Amino acid sequence: MQRREFEKFITQMITQDVMPILHDNYAELVTQAEQQGENFFNNDGNTASFKNDGKGLVSLGEIKAEEKIREIFSKHYPDISILGEELGDTDNLKDYTLVIDPVDGTSAMILSAINPNNHLGFGITIGLLKGKLFHGGMIFELKPDTENRLTLGDIWSGWHNDELLCNGKPYNIAPTIDKEFKTLISSAPEVMFTNKHEKSAFHSLEKTASEISLNKNCMGFIDALKNPQSLAIEADLSIHDIAALIPIMKSADLGVSDHNGKDIEFINAEQEFKIIAAPKPIHSHALELYKTALSNKPIEINSASVLNRHSLNTQKYKT
């Protein structure tokens, strides 16, 4: 598999065939949000809704986008298996496997449609596995413009043992020797960190940080590689969430591991992943703080902690 050929094909497919679908889908979300406001989530038949199992949200455009990706990709690469966030996974994995999340951050996309002033992050993620190896990844930033129309932002890509690219050009990461971090990045810690020891360990990092960045999804990890004093930590991730992230983080020469400091390995499509990523000095320091707190007696969670916030993400299970 040649990187240049693969990324050129994926970029053309996303820009020409997928973005029109997501653009129209977002326009419908904006129209419905203007009419219904926060009641959007209480109405059946909208462009986006809770999934059948009650866990997570999906929009009609994401389903159509994944259908289009599968259709086009399978014709060009018939010998590559596909794992998809919205349309299911195959048990018969081939030498290479494409991993699709047509919109990583559906709730952020919906909230942006409701309130375009929200500073949220979401994007299209495309990962490539080579056997069990996280081989390549691409993230297509999605962002509303000043008139709240969905547009394509920067395109990030990473490849095993190769450099980080942004919009097809090498992107150099500012080196750091500082082990302290200022910004803690996590999309939805209130649902990701569930038991008292994990909450306590996250809160120990939260207390160390001077700024908390939430609801950024895949773009939070892009923020982590652009900002040398930041740390991204998440849990409860699927293979669709993480497949594109790891090659990009490694191409940026960031420290990347699970919460125990071990390399992240792909075993099967059902597993849940935990990840912590940052410039290597920060990664080592934060990992030690987290592991120590994890093994100690849980500390009291401050009432102002983001672990106590109520947001759309806390409604993963519809009542």
Type of residue numbered 235: A
CA distance 177 to 192: 30
Counted residue by residue, the chain has a size of 319
Query: Which of the given ranges, 172-176, 247-251, 268-272, 310-314, has the highest pLDDT on average?
Result: 247-251
- pLDDT surpasses 80 at 119: no
Residue 8, helix vs strand vs coil: helix
Cα–Cα distance for residue pair 85/66, rounded to 1 Å? 8
Look-up of token digits 């653009």: 23
Can you spell out the DSSP letters for 191-202?
Answer: HH--SHHHHHHH
**What are the structure tokens assigned to 230, written together?**
């930041």
What rounded mean pLDDT belongs to the chain?
A: 91
pLDDT at position 48 is: 72
Beta-bridged to residue 16, according to DSSP, are none
Fill in the amino acid letter for 49: S
d(CA 124, CA 12): 13
Question: What is the per-residue pLDDT for 107?
Answer: 86
pLDDT at 41: 67
pLDDT tens string 174-213: 888 899 999 999 999 999 998 999 999 999 999 999 999 9
Top pLDDT among 318 and 129 is at: 129
Please indicate whether residue 113 or residue 47 has the higher confidence score (pLDDT): 113
d(Cα 60, Cα 86) in Å, to the nearest integer?
Answer: 10
Which pairing describes strands 96-104 and 81-84: parallel, antiparallel, or unpaired? parallel
Q: Report residue 65's pLDDT band, with 50, 70 and 90 as the boundaries.
A: very high
Mean pLDDT, range 134-153, rounded to an integer: 94
Q: Tell me the mean pLDDT in the region 236-258.
A: 97
Backbone region of residue 105 per phi and psi (left: phi > 0; alpha: psi in -120 to 50; beta: other values)? left
Question: For the domain bounded by 183-315, which CATH number is listed?
Answer: 3.40.190.80
Span 266-297, pLDDT tens digits: 999 899 999 999 999 999 999 999 999 999 99
Which of 281, 235, 272 lies closest to 254, judged by CA?
Answer: 281
pLDDT, one tens digit per residue, over 12-34 is 999 999 999 999 999 998 998 88
Q: Per DSSP, what are the bridge partners of residue 134?
A: 129
Residue 19's CB is within 10 A of a number of other CB atoms, namely: 18
pLDDT at 55: 58
At 82, which helix (H) or strand (E)?
strand 81-84
CATH fold for the domain made of 3-170: Fructose-1,6-Bisphosphatase; Chain A, domain 1 (3.30.540)
pLDDT of residue 314: 39
**Could you tell me the residue ranges of all domains in the chain?**
3-170, 183-315
Residue 198 CB neighbour total at 10 angstroms: 20
| Structure confidence at residue 46 (pLDDT) | 72
Over residues 80-102, the pLDDT tens digits come to: 999 999 888 776 788 999 999 99
CA 293 to each of CA 201, 222, 299: distance values in angstroms, whole numbers, following the listed order: 5, 27, 8
pLDDT(53) > 90: no
Per-residue pLDDT, 47: 75
DSSP state, residue 119: -
Q: What angle do CA 101, 105, 110 make, to 5 degrees?
A: 120
Higher pLDDT, residue 285 or 119: 285
pLDDT of residue 318: 37
